[in-house]
Structure 1
């Protein structure tokens, strides 16, 4: 992959194109900072959007699913995957100028069902390690039955866009001069809290370091 994004008709930004980002590393940053993506596709002639876990390996995005899901019965399907971070609510002096500070990534392509057993395990590891680094080696590996019940999709990141809005409100000069309302930004942050042990966990088992390291740490 090149270091810059290569816009296509689907990935070229229309409105507020100035908020677009062209570096591939910025795409990776947005994806790596998220925990849940939304997978969009067409099923039975109607649009469907589902939240799911994911992980990135280079320029391939792996997504988790159930083998019992109807939409995963084929080997390939056109898809769109989005990840969005809400960083703040932008209060303007005029309602028309209200906005949000955000970082978003949109990837288009053909998602393929991973059938190779080695790649499937690698994809699942990428997904688990994305949620909490160190978790894969700490927990029991999946059994054959569990692998059979799990589907993994792979989406190439060759066709993607990144859009970012940051900073204060963009009020009209007349609204700024009138100073008729409060204007500014209310930040929005997601943080990890203190780990809560399962009720049937032995009291002698301490919280592992890879879990403790997540506590009280902001995402994004």
Structure 2
């Protein structure tokens, strides 16, 4: 499930109040990695967090509003995050994060400088406690009284694809998008 999404929502308690922050993520078999600025309030807590990744697959449009819904895949990961201090583990987590959202980008771009690493917080939440849910299928009102209404009902799939890369306006002419980016055009965003 984690391989299908791109955005995670990090739920934390900050100063006694809930906060949910969207962020990109990376993962391996044991941890999910989240990053941000060292000044980010959402990354400075010491308690349990909830990280949620959801992929929308479609709308369920029933004969009655009551039966409308969505098809989705989701994972909720619970745990106490560890802040990564080890330089090798920090680069490992940042590489996973980068490669998850843009495969090939880690080897294409410049590595983080020591100053940039010092300004970055990387958290690792263990994948030991998680809840995965999938909602898939047609409307539930086809065998009930609403079936006699003569109204269309069904699923409206969501199909997201990568668009054509748009160059930075400050990029000098003649520098094309690398193959690992340009080759994504027209391909599905999620798996």
SS at match of 1:53: strand
* Contact 1:77/1:112 (<8 A) preserved: no
Are 2:154 and 1:184 equivalent residues in the alignment? yes
Instruction: Please point out which of 64, 86, 89 is paired with 2:56.
Output: 86
Give the counterpart of 2:28 among 49, 57, 65: 57
Offset of 1:65 from its aligned partner? 1.2
CA separation in 2, counterparts of 1:189 and 1:112?
A: 35
Q: How far off is 1:40 after superposition?
A: 0.3
2:21–2:42 CA contact under 8 A, matched in 1: no
TM-score (norm 1): 0.82
Partner of 1:127: 97
Tell me the SS of whatever aligns to 1:192.
coil
Matched, 1:77 2:47: yes
Q: Secondary structure at the match of 2:47?
A: strand
Matching of residue 211 in structure 1 with residue 181 in structure 2: yes
Instruction: Please tell me whether residue 34 in structure 1 is matched to residue 39 in structure 2.
Output: no
Shift of 1:182: 1.6
Deviation readout 1:66-109 (Å, 9 max, x if unpaired): 101134335x4310000111111111111111111111111111
Question: TM-score scaled by structure 2?
Answer: 0.94
Poorly superposed stretches of 4+, deviation over 3 Å? none
How far apart are the structure 2 equivalents of 1:77 and 1:152?
16
1:153 maps to 2:123? yes
Corresponding residue of 2:134: 164
- State how far apart, in whole Å, the 2-side matches of 1:107 and 1:113 are: 16
Give unmatched runs, 5+ long, in structure 2. Answer: none
